[in-house]
Amino acid sequence: MNAVITGASRGMGKAIAAKFAAEGYDLILSSKDEKRLSESVTELKAANNKSGILSYSVDLSIKTEAQKFGKWILQQNSSIDILINNAGHFLPGSIYNEEDEVLEKMININLYSAYHLTRILLPKMMEQKRGHIFNMCSIASLNAYSNGGSYSISKFALMGFSKNLREEMKPYNIKVTAVYPGAVYTSSWEASGVEKERIMDVNDIAETVYSISKLSPQACVEDIVLRPQLGDL
């Protein structure tokens, strides 16, 4: 079994990769940060020496690069059992005062990265008549909030992509799940002053995604909403 995971060099992506590797999956991992990706792959291989792990450093916000990555995946001649579109970025701000081209940046990485990569891989998955696609959305996909700006717009768009893809892939037995995490403790929270115990752990997301992927072929969880026990910050 094979899992493709983008944004896999840290945070939720790395935790998800570790979970699938521990369960015996072979992995294809990507990240824009080549050094951090290499370090993560070394860690994963040391902990899971029976899993095959391939990596590819790529800026998925660039259409041609995302397409090139997808074609490289197809050249590996492996089944695509799991695709986790996790690559993304957060730039805070408000629509009325954020810098010019923030919306374009957010759309490129948070929406188009998943759109272009998925479109390259879909013919293979449709031919297989199986597979599971996870799109890592956000609570910001469901509710507007202060200082969310273009980030929230891009995540609303990713939700729309997920819902349309879900309908289109039903006849091909390909599952599509949109994941909506609230605050998760990653490196971006370390200097925030928020206590680690106040928000979710990356392994909460990894365990949930893996569990959903193991349901019977006739069951599809369309949406996963995870929030800290005490609610959003």
Residue 137 region by backbone torsions, left for phi larger than 0, else alpha for psi between -120 and 50, else beta? beta
Cβ atoms of 226 and 136 within 8 Å: the answer is no
Please tell me which residue in 151, 172, 180, 210 is annotated as part of the active site: 151
Q: Which residue reads 């273009």 in tokens? A: 150
Residue 151 is a catalytic residue? yes
Tokens of 136: 């890592």
Cα(28)–Cα(166) distance, integer angstroms? 23
| DSSP code, position 200 | E
- Cβ-contact 28, 5 below 8 angstroms: yes
Q: In angstroms, rounded to a whole number, what is the distance separating the alpha carbons of residues 151 and 221? A: 25
What DSSP character marks residue 99?
Answer: P
Report the catalytic residues. Answer: 151
